[in-house]
């Protein structure tokens, strides 16, 4: 079946969550949002492209930081309302310069930082 | 710092997306939603508990199917608006009886099923 981004299920703002996973390590790096055009651009260019809700603009991941995500595979979930992109991540995925955005773990009721920023 | 579910960032419906990842294999299994009480119950019981938007009720994963998710770790992302739960998954995570909900991959513009339902 031919894939058409318009057949995905978007929220009221026209967005769908996209989970980025490191293709090599399996680490979950981040979650951000795409609209239909961002999905199309991601597939066309091979560069993962989100929709920035704060800037209200396309966000080619790494365009300014250099921390690009090269698309390896794009998967759709059973409800067609969530995407999983596996990527080759250059540098840290998180704007805090940690490898993953999920660097805070709840341990015995307390928040523990389990990952330090990457140093150059 | 003590963790308080009320300090997370929820959407207008009071929900936060939660990504479930297999603790052993690293496979991303599904994404569903939690409210603050579901986050608290997940931590208290060690059984991953979502909020079902369709049923408008708490959804203790596997309560009816037996395909439970035992919590291994709960992580918060940098913006505090997304959760990652690593889990010990009993049986398939997807209601279609596939191991993961992300069983459809876009390959050369076509949708390809990359995972078959688990047979008993």
Round to whole Å and give the CA distance between A84 and A48. Answer: 11
Closest by Cβ to A28, choosing from B2, B84, B107? B84
Of B43, B96, B106, the CB nearest to A78: B96
DSSP codes of every residue in A81-109: S-EEEEEEE-S-SSTTS-SSS--EEEETT
Among A20, A59, A77, A109, which would you mutate to test the B interface (most chain B Cβ atoms within 10 Å of its Cβ)? A77
> What is the rounded CA–CA span in Å between residue A87 and residue A77?
17
CB pair distance less than 8 Å for A76 and B27: no
pLDDT value, residue B47: 98
- At the topology level, CATH places domain A5-90 in Ubiquitin-like (UB roll) (3.10.20)
> Does the structure show a pLDDT above 70 at A32?
yes
Q: Residue B56 has what pLDDT? A: 96
List of chain B residues whose C-beta atoms are within 8 Å of the C-beta of residue A25: 26
Q: Are A74 and A82 in contact (CB under 8 A)?
A: no
Contacts with A82 (C-beta within 8 Å, 6 or more apart), sequence order: A16, A17, A18, A19, A76, B31, B101, B102
Q: What is the ipTM of this complex?
A: 0.97
Per CB-CB distance under 8 Å, the chain A contacts of B26 are 25-27
- Report residues of chain B scoring pLDDT below 50: none
B88: three-class secondary structure by DSSP:
strand
User: Is residue B42 within 8 Å of residue B114, measured between CB atoms?
Assistant: no
Closest CA to B69 of B91, B96, B42, B87: B87
State the average pLDDT over residues A58-74: 97
pLDDT of residue A1: 84
**Integer Cα distance of B120 and A118 in angstroms:** 45
**Hey, where are the domains in chain A?**
5-90
Average pLDDT, chain A: 97
């Amino acid at each position: 079946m031919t894939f058409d981004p318009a057949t995905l299920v978007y929220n009221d703002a026209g967005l769908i969550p996209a989970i980025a996973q490191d293709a090599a390590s399996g680490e979950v790096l981040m979650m951000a949002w795409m609209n239909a055009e961002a999905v199309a651009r991601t597939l066309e260019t091979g560069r993962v492209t989100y929709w920035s809700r704060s800037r209200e603009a396309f966000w080619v991941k790494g365009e300014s930081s250099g921390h690009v995500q090269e698309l390896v595979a794009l998967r759709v979930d059973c409800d067609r309302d969530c995407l999983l992109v596996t990527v080759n991540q250059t540098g840290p995925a998180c704007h805090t310069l940690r490898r993953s955005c999920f660097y805070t773990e709840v341990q015995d009721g307390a928040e523990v930082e389990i990952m330090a920023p990457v140093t150059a």
